[in-house]
């Protein structure tokens, strides 16, 4: 998982696979490669970047672990360390903003008074808390521009360069903020719930990003079965730029192998020799003849063997007298 060395904050992505029998979820961490730390030259945000292998259509979750003093740890003076730094650390509220393939899908708020980390993000809820959309990997929808006819403005090929450039990227931006706990406004509607994500778009197969096999987006809306909460955290102040970003670049396995990020699995083919039954029978007969075995499995004596037997019978054995007679020499 990409981890910030200064604060220990980290983030990871898990695939969610449901059992076909009882729909019990199993979480599988995505394998990560090429972790690197950078600094955004425009915002000054620290970027923790990793590459993961894109998966087939599957729900997924984002797991974030950030403590209230994370910002303080990342911006403490170099002269302070150990127990002194812990005493000087300041706790803050945070806002997280989530982007899938360059499209902002929502945000969450986290108070320093009630930290609940690690924080698991599996869905984005509407402002009124009545509906939600789950995070999902889906197969990219590629079309041939020459064959595809745009029937309306909604169902058309995506030409947004920012979206096309960001395909294959999942990003979490962390902002320092000030939060208050207030009653939830009535009849609020979240425009983010109407956002179109890349799994609902069509892309030209001639695009440079056409090699990607998967998109990261949201499912259709579903209704909560329980009533929404009456109060929620509201943001009264937020920094204009994030101070920390977790970035996941997902690619199909074929590209990772071509880049040398992972080693390709080579399967060695084995050659099976066809056995000719006639040749096998002839070989057996030849061995039988060489071993002196006839058709009746009887041993055939050779002329030399008969001579050896005769000589053995004619030879008289030497008798040794053990009586102790004086006549023996």
**How many whole angstroms separate alpha carbon 3 and alpha carbon 69?**
15
Query: Taking a C-beta distance cutoff of 8 angstroms, is the pair 175, 98 a contact?
Result: no
- The pLDDT assigned to 309 comes to 47
- Whether 264 maps to a domain, the answer reads no
- Higher local confidence (pLDDT), 112 or 83: 112
Q: How far, in Å, CA of 185 to CA of 3, rounded?
A: 37
- Please say whether the beta carbons of 230 and 142 come within 8 A: no
Residue 322 lies in a domain: no
Number of domains in the chain: 1
Confidence category of residue 110, pLDDT binned at 50, 70, 90? very high
299-303-305 Cα angle (round to 5): 65
Pairing of strands 46-53, 244-251: parallel
Contact 129, 184 (CB under 8 A): yes
Q: Is residue 123 part of a domain?
A: yes
Please write down the HEC assignment for all residues of 300-313: CCCHHHHHHHHHHH
Tell me if 39 is assigned to some domain.
yes
pLDDT, one tens digit per residue, over 59-75 is 999 999 999 999 999 98
Show the domain range for 138: 10-75+88-259
pLDDT digits (tens, 9 = 90+) for 166-203: 999 999 999 999 999 988 776 665 666 688 999 998 88
pLDDT tens string 288-315: 665 655 555 545 454 555 545 444 445 5
Does some domain include residue 316? no
Residue 309 included in any domain? no
Instruction: Say which residues have a Cβ less than 8 Å from residue 110's Cβ, sequence separation at least 6.
Output: 66, 93, 94, 95, 96, 116, 117, 119, 179, 233
CB 231 within 8 A of CB 184: yes
Q: Please, what sign has the CA dihedral across residues 217, 222, 225, 228?
A: positive
In angstroms, the CA 74 to CA 77 distance is 9
Residue 230 lies in a domain: yes
For residue 155, what are the contacts with CB-CB under 8 A and spacing of at least 6? 202
70 and 24 in contact (C-beta within 8 Å)? Answer: no
In whole angstroms, what is the distance from residue 67 CA to residue 118 CA?
A: 9
pLDDT at 84: 53
Over 50: is that where the pLDDT of 329 sits? no
For residue 221, being part of any structural domain is answered with: yes
């Amino acid at each position: 998982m990409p981890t910030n060395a200064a604060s220990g904050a980290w983030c990871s992505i898990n695939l969610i696979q449901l059992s076909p029998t009882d729909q019990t979820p199993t979480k599988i961490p995505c394998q990560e490669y090429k972790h690197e730390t950078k600094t955004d030259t425009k915002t000054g945000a620290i970027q923790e970047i990793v590459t993961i292998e894109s998966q087939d259509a599957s729900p997924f979750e984002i797991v974030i672990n950030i403590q209230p003093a994370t910002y303080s740890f990342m911006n403490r003076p170099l002269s302070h360390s150990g127990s002194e730094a812990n005493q000087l650390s300041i706790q803050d509220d945070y806002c997280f903003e989530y982007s899938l393939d360059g499209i902002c899908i929502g945000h969450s708020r986290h108070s320093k008074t009630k930290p609940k980390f690690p924080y698991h993000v599996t869905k984005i809820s509407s402002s009124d808390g009545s509906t939600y959309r789950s995070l999902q990997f889906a197969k990219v929808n590629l079309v041939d521009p020459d064959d595809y006819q745009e029937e309306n403005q909604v169902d058309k090929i995506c030409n947004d360069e920012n979206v096309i450039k960001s395909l294959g990227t999942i990003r979490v931006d962390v902002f320092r903020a000030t939060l208050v706990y207030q009653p939830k406004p009535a009849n609020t509607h979240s425009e983010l719930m109407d956002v179109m994500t890349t799994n609902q778009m069509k892309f030209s197969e001639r695009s440079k990003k056409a090699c990607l096999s998967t998109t990261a987006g949201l499912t259709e809306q579903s209704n909560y079965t329980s009533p929404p909460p009456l109060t929620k955290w509201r943001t009264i102040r937020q920094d204009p730029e994030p101070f920390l970003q977790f970035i996941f670049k997902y690619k199909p396995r074929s590209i990772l192998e071509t880049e040398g990020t992972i080693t390709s699995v080579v399967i060695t083919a084995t050659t099976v020799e066809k056995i000719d039954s006639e040749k096998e029978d002839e070989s057996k007969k030849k061995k039988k003849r060489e071993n002196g075995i006839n058709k009746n499995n009887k041993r055939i004596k050779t002329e030399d063997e008969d001579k050896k037997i005769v000589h053995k019978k004619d030879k008289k054995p030497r008798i040794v007298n053990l009586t102790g007679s004086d006549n023996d020499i």
